[in-house]
Structure 1
Amino acid sequence: MRRLSLSSRLALLFAACTAVVSLFAGVLFNRASEAHFIELDQQLLEGKLIGLRRSLQNIQSNTSEVKLADELSRQADLYLRITGSDGQRWYDSSARLPETLALTPGLSTLKGDGTDYRVLNAPLYPDKPDSPQLTLLLDITHHQHFLQRMQHLIWLTVGLSALATALLGAWAARSGLRPLRRMSAVARGVSAQSLNARLPEENMPPELAEMAHHFNAMLGRLDDSFQRLSAFSADIAHELRTPLSNLLTHTQVTLTRPRPIEDYREALHSNLEELQWMAQLVNDMLYLAKADHGLLMPSREPLNLADEVDVLLEFFAPLADDSRVTVSREGTARMVGDRSMLRRALSNLLDNALRFTPVDGEVRVRITDQPQGLSLTIENTGDEVSEALLPRLFDRFYRADPARQEGSSEHAGLGLAITRSIIRAHGGQIWCESEKGLTRFVIELPRGD
């Protein structure tokens, strides 16, 4: 079966709610009317009972029947039956009364021969146990007809109100859901070429404003991701084009004529360098792809972060000496993490810092043990990075150095992207700050205890 639209569901819900409320109100009114009629009938019968008892004080007198007829004549729809203590019928004010009447004391309702009666049974002499019984019958057929018409009117009102509410509810729901249809139209028009479409949040109702805001934010993220993916694909082609062209050209030149064995060996060594760089590039891309899919699973081993940094500083010491750059480390902290992954991340940062530190500059590593975790800062002196470039430093294949070397086998622009993936895999975060002649990479990590 076809599922109902949201507008139809709301319209049916409005109609059902209106029908239930109308029916409940109608039933309450009908019960109240019926109880009111019963109360009026009881008051009338009890008043007539007092008059009849006075008229029948001496039931043997000749005037009793005259007084009785006079009392009954004042209420055309009132009838009387007098029954002896032995159950014998003494008197009926009308021949149309039912043959059998219950003698239960109190007020009751009787249906018989198309006529409805309100019946009141009471003794003629309340203080005598063998007193004759008076049965007063009040014709309430007109009351019942009124209540029946009231019930019909209630059902008619329920039906009409439900129908009217369904129609009005459908119109209101359709009008109220117009922003959703607009959102659907925007979503329908979204494609790789039109990710810049946005919903007008200022005209949205409060209930949909938050959804529109998140919808626009989602489109923004998709647009940003698509732009990054497009740039990433172009960067891959850009990085691989030069080494592939070099390999093809070098191989073609080598094969143009017969050469000595040493020339072939030299050509193969040259090609091997290019192939090794391409293999490293592919491995780095696979590593980042695993990180994007949450497949990097760091091992958990206790580490002294100061010892790990000292090992790396010792490794980079010759490079620092050649560049006359001073390196230092302050602080210590312990954590649980993957030694090889963290060494790779810190090595990328130190290599990056040394490359951009001028002669006689300084690279400082600070480790701070904090109550909620630990912080590691690697800062170097040198030219500041533009604030506009800071958010892009961790993009793949991005180089802040404008003198970008195509297909460089030394730096492909993936180091910081890999570093960020490793830090995130350990549950931490990394960002860059650059001011007052210092460029600083700040890492926050949990201890992982």
Structure 2
Amino acid sequence: MRRLSLSTRLALLFAACTAVVSLFAGVLFDRASEAHFIELDQQQLDARLLGLRRAMQGVQADQRETRLADELSRQADLSLRITGSDGQHWYASSPQIPEQLPQAAGLSTISHNGTDYRLLNAPLYPGQPDSPQLTLLLDITHHQHFLQRMQHLIWLTVGLSALATALLGAWAARSGLRPLRRMSAVAGGISAQSLNARLPQAHMPPELAQMAHSFNAMLARLDESFQRLSAFSADIAHELRTPLSNLLTHTQVTLTRPRTLEDYREALHSNLEELQWMAQLVNDMLYLAKADHGLLMPKREALELEDEADMLLEFFAPLAEDAGVRLSREGKARIEGDRGMLRRALSNLLDNALRFTQAEGYVRLSIVDETNAVRVCVENSGEGISAQLLPRLFDRFYRADPARQEGSSEHAGLGLAITQSIVRAHGGTIHCESEAGVTRFVIQLPRT
């Protein structure tokens, strides 16, 4: 079934609202008119009743009919019946009065032979138990015809107003949604080659301008992600080109002539190193892919961070001693996390700090136990990193050292990206600060 357009829905909604409001107002007017007529009839009948009672006072029996006829002749649409206490009809001003009439005192409405009456029952002599009963009947057929015409007019007004509102609502909705159609046309022309296109916001209504702003922000994020993906693919090819070229060249040279078993063994060993580096690169990429899809599920076990830090510092101590770098640790804290993942993150930071720390420098690992979190800092002395490079440090395959642009079997530029994924998997954050020759990586881990 074909769904209704937004313009049609708005038009039908306008029409429905107008019809409901018009119907409600018409019904109220109809009820008010009917109540007004009833009030007028009540006043008229009460006045006639009072006049009849006055006219009947002190009148002889043989003069009653003449006096009543004279009194009723003043109002042609008024009829009268007088019934005695024994139920016998004493007087009837018209033969058209129905035989069976309501006996209850007060005002009521009846219909007989196409004629509508307002009926009032009251005693002729109030206060007397055996008083004859007066029944006044007022012809209200013209009132009822007016109310019927009013009801027909109400239904006609409801229908015409609903139709007019539907047409005007369709025009207003179509005009109001014109910016959406322009946005749709622009969005339809966006492709992978034109992600830099943006929706115009200058002359749009505030509601659509906000939506256009959000859409443009989404396009900016997609454009950035697409550019990063393209750069990422190029970086993978760039990183794999060098080891593959080395493998091909070394294998071709080895096969140019017969060699001894030892030469073949040495060639295979060299190829194995390159293959191991490529396997590590692929494993790292798979690790990051799992992190991107939220598949890194860290274990939760109680860890003493100072013990984990001391173990890593002991592992890196020989390397630091050869480079003339001082290693230290301060602070302690207890946290729940994945031991292997956190070791890998801290190991990446320590390895990165040692590589960029000059002789006689230092690498300090500090642990600060805060109220709601644990802060771990890896700080090292050195040349520092410019502010322009800090936002890109955690990009994959990015190297702050411009001298290291070619693929290497040591470092592929994935360590910081992996560290960031591990920290995020634990619900934490990581950032880098660098000033006055000191570089500091700060990890903030929440308490669980």
Q: TM-score if structure 2 supplies the norm length?
A: 0.96
| C-alpha displacement of 1:308 | 1.4
SS in structure 1 at match of 2:81:
strand
Which residue pairs with 1:138 in the alignment? 138
Separation of aligned partners in 1, 2:205 and 2:185? 17
Partner letter of residue 190 of structure 1?
I
Contact 1:23 1:154 in 2 (8 A): yes
TM alignment of 1:113-192, pairs within 5 A: 113-192=113-192
Aligned to 1:365: 365
SS of structure 1 residue aligned to 2:155: helix
How many Å separate the matches in 2 of 1:159 and 1:400?
74
Contact persistence 1:334–1:447 (CA under 8 A): no
- What is the aligned partner in structure 2 of residue 66 from structure 1? 66
Partner of 2:211: 211
> For residues 311 and 105 of structure 2, what CA distance do their matches in structure 1 show?
108
Tell which deviates more after alignment, 137-146 or 240-249: 240-249
**Which deviates more from structure 2 when the two are superposed, residues 30-39 or residues 295-304?**
295-304
Contact 2:65 2:91 survives alignment (8 Å): no
Aligned to 2:254: 254
CA distance in 1, matches of 2:205, 2:106: 63
Distance 1:264 1:405, change over 3 A: farther
CA distance in 2, matches of 1:300, 1:92: 103
In structure 2, runs of 5+ residues without a counterpart are none
Match in the other structure for 2:98? 98
Give 1:108 shift.
0.9
- Aligned-CA RMSD value: 1.7
Q: Name the SS for the 1:368 alignment partner.
A: strand
- State the distance in 2 between where 1:146 and 1:265 align: 115
For the 8 Å contact 2:399–2:405, the answer to whether it is kept is no
Q: How far, CA to CA, are the matches of 1:332 and 1:103 in structure 2?
A: 101
| Corresponding residue of 2:240 | 240
Partner of 2:345: 345
Paired position in structure 2 for 1:4: 4
Name whichever of 19-28 and 247-256 sits farther off: 247-256
d(CA) in 2 for partners of 1:404, 1:51: 119
Separation in structure 1 between the aligned mates of residue 102 and residue 118 of structure 2, nearest angstrom: 12
For 1:213, the aligned partner's letter is H
Q: What SS does the corresponding residue of 1:432 show, helix, strand or coil?
A: strand
Deviation at 1:369, TM superposition (A): 0.8
Give aligned pairs, total. Answer: 448
Q: Deviations along 1:97-124, whole A, 9 cap, x unmatched?
A: 2233222221111111111111111121
Q: Please give the per-residue CA displacement for 1:216-268, whole angstroms capped at 9, x wherever unaligned.
A: 22222211111111111111111111211221222122222222222211211
* Distance of 2:431 and 2:178 partners within structure 1: 43
Match of 2:445 in 1: 445
> 1:313 and 2:313 equivalent?
yes
Specify the code of the residue in structure 1 equivalent to 2:21: V
Q: State the 1:59 CA deviation.
A: 5.2
Give 2:29's aligned residue.
29
How far apart, CA to CA, are the structure 2 residues paired with 1:388 and 1:409? 27
What is residue 400 of structure 2 aligned with on the other side? Answer: 400
Q: Which residue of 2 is the match for residue 197 of structure 1? A: 197
CA–CA distance in 2 between the matches of 1:7 and 1:394?
Answer: 48
**Quick check: 33-42 or 172-181, which moved more?**
172-181
Could you tell which deviates more after superposition, 296-305 or 58-67? 58-67
- The 8 Å contact of residues 121 and 134 in structure 1, kept in 2 or not, is answered as yes
Q: In 2, Cα distance between the equivalents of 1:405 and 1:215?
A: 36
Following superposition, the deviation at residue 380 of structure 1 comes to 1.4
Instruction: Give, in whole Å, the separation in 2 of the partners of 1:40 and 1:301.
Output: 89
Cα offset for 1:62?
4.2
Map of 2:81 onto structure 1: 81
CA distance in 2, matches of 1:220, 1:427: 26
Cross-structure match for 1:283:
283
- How far has the Cα of 1:296 moved from its partner? 1.2
